[in-house]
Amino acid sequence: MTNSNLLAWIDLEMTGLDPEKHHIIEIACLVTDANLNIVAEGPEIAIFQDEDILSLMNEWNVKQHTSSGLVEKIKSSDVSIKEAEELCLKFFQSHIKQHKSPLCGSSVSHDRRFLIKHMSKLANHFHYRHIDVSSFKEVIKRWYPEADEFKKASSHRAMDDIKDSINELKFYQENFFK
């Protein structure tokens, strides 16, 4: 059943920051209601990439994605980028009508650039607007410089990062949008 007030959340892990040169290596998605309660957890998928693609990662990415266990999951995955796209699209289609939900996440405009380049069918499912938790962070930092900052766990695994983003937005809602 679909609902027009539901929010679509995505997080990607990539081999780098340029969607023209780099690739998606993990995707996770979930749906919340307007009050940021998780309605459904979608797939969390390590996407197979061969050594040629993985060799494009810089030192930070190699260290981060190796220590998190993601590199091993990528190497042992049998899920292609297209299969991952289809799985995520089916998940969102079962909850949210096309073009009804903004895309939500932290620095989600960056993820959208990768989706447009590498998963265009999935990118097309969402409304053109987005809810970027990082924008709230930047506004709060400037308007309330004395306020406590939200502390993220920062595992750099896609599902953990989405849940961190939701908790961060809840923190802003509870502390600044009363």
Residue numbers annotated as active site = 128
**Contact assessment for residue 48 and residue 77, using Cβ atoms and an 8 Å cutoff:** yes
Residues 104 and 54: their CA atoms lie apart, in Å, by 27
Strand partners, 41: 30
CB atoms within 10 A of CB 137: 20
Residues 100 and 1: their CA atoms lie apart, in Å, by 14
Residues 178 and 172: their CA atoms lie apart, in Å, by 9
Q: How many residues does the chain have?
A: 178
Q: Give me the DSSP letters along 90-103.
A: HHHHTTS-TTTS-E
